[in-house]
């Protein structure tokens, strides 16, 4: 049976987790606690020498990187609703998944490391230059989503949910829920889209996936880290 290696603190891990619960592909979840360094242990490196989550072991076929994992599983299990066979629709979904890395994901990750991971591991003071860069990249990314991706459709690439939406929303909520940094008020289409994705996969699956990062967010508030406004 498919084994999915995840840490729910990780945005793409949550996207895979939600995907598996939503599609009901038979699987087992293997938790890899990044905070305990489990991704660096020899046992996990046999699964993924890149040390990253998510990763899968599908009957001996090992694969890392969230997007190819989602695409592979959609292809294998004929889940064309989330990853259509039509070449143009497919390409539009893929375009978002590649764009996000050095935009939405980059901006959010800089902020999460600077305002959560580093303070949580005792590293202070907070690197203000990183925070400024993170805010700049994140704002530009949210503007692009608001003004281009969601210009004419309720989901990123079309009128229906795709793997791009699962990945994108998990990135947005990393800062919104994880850092308690309001990234939705100024972006009404983004806010509506996040809620629509939550409803589409089912609120219970969605909220379950985000319960761990919600706790992390409470930790940030206890540390009294000053979180910037967008």
Name the site residues for a second copy (rule: CB under 8 A): 49-50, 61, 63-69, 71-72, 75-76, 87-88, 90-92, 94-95, 97-99, 101-102, 105-106, 144, 148
**Taking the complex as a whole, how short is the minimal distance between the CB of residue 85 and a second copy, in angstroms?**
10
Q: Which is nearer to a second copy, 39 or 198 (CB)?
A: 39
Rounded alpha-carbon distances, angstroms, from residue 186 to 61, 117, 146, 192, 227:
43, 26, 10, 12, 16
**Taking the complex as a whole, how short is the minimal distance between the CB of residue 20 and a second copy, in angstroms?**
16
Rounded alpha-carbon distances, angstroms, from residue 67 to 62, 63, 126, 129:
14, 10, 31, 30
Asked if residue 174 lies in contact with residue 11, where contact means CB atoms within 8 angstroms, the answer is yes
Q: Where are the beta strands (DSSP E) in the chain?
A: 2-6, 27-31, 55-58, 61-64
**Taking the complex as a whole, how short is the minimal distance between the CB of residue 137 and a second copy, in angstroms?**
12
Q: Please, what's the largest Cα pairwise distance for the chain? A: 50
Q: Which is nearer to a second copy, 13 or 225 (CB)?
A: 13
Q: Which is nearer to a second copy, 38 or 94 (CB)?
A: 94
**Taking the complex as a whole, how short is the minimal distance between the CB of residue 94 and a second copy, in angstroms?**
4
**Taking the complex as a whole, how short is the minimal distance between the CB of residue 39 and a second copy, in angstroms?**
15
Asked if residue 170 lies in contact with residue 96, where contact means CB atoms within 8 angstroms, the answer is no
**Taking the complex as a whole, how short is the minimal distance between the CB of residue 224 and a second copy, in angstroms?**
28
**Dihedral class, residue 122 (left if φ above 0, else alpha if ψ from -120 to 50, else beta):** left
Q: Which is nearer to a second copy, 8 or 104 (CB)?
A: 104
Q: Which is nearer to a second copy, 82 or 225 (CB)?
A: 82
Q: Which is nearer to a second copy, 157 or 198 (CB)?
A: 157
- Count of other CB atoms within 10 angstroms of residue 147: 11
Q: Work out whether the CA dihedral 62, 66, 67, 70 comes out positive or negative.
A: positive
**CA–CA separation, 51 vs 137, rounded Å?**
26
Q: Which is nearer to a second copy, 81 or 147 (CB)?
A: 147
Cis peptide before 213 (omega within 30 of 0): no
**Taking the complex as a whole, how short is the minimal distance between the CB of residue 105 and a second copy, in angstroms?**
8
């Amino acid at each position: 049976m498919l084994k999915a290696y995840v840490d729910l603190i990780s945005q793409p891990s949550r996207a895979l987790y939600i995907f598996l619960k939503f599609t009901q592909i038979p699987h087992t979840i293997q938790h890899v606690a990044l905070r305990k360094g489990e991704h660096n242990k020899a046992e996990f490196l046999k699964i993924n020498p890149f040390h990253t989550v998510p990763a899968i072991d599908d009957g001996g076929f090992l694969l890392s990187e969230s997007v190819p994992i989602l695409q592979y599983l959609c292809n294998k299990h004929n889940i064309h609703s989330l990853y259509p066979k039509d070449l143009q629709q497919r390409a539009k979904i893929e375009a978002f998944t590649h764009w996000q890395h050095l935009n939405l994901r980059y901006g959010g990750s800089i902020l999460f490391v600077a305002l959560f991971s580093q303070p949580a591991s005792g590293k202070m003071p907070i690197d203000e230059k990183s925070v400024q860069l993170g805010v700049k990249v994140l704002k530009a990314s949210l503007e692009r989503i608001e003004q281009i991706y969601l210009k004419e459709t309720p989901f990123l690439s079309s009128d229906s949910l795709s793997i791009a939406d699962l990945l994108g929303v998990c990135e947005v909520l990393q800062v919104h829920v994880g850092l308690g940094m309001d990234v939705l008020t100024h972006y009404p289409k983004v806010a509506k889209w996040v809620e629509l994705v939550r409803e589409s996969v089912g609120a219970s699956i969605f909220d379950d996936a985000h319960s761990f990062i919600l706790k992390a967010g409470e930790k940030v508030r206890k540390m009294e880290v000053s979180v910037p406004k967008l």
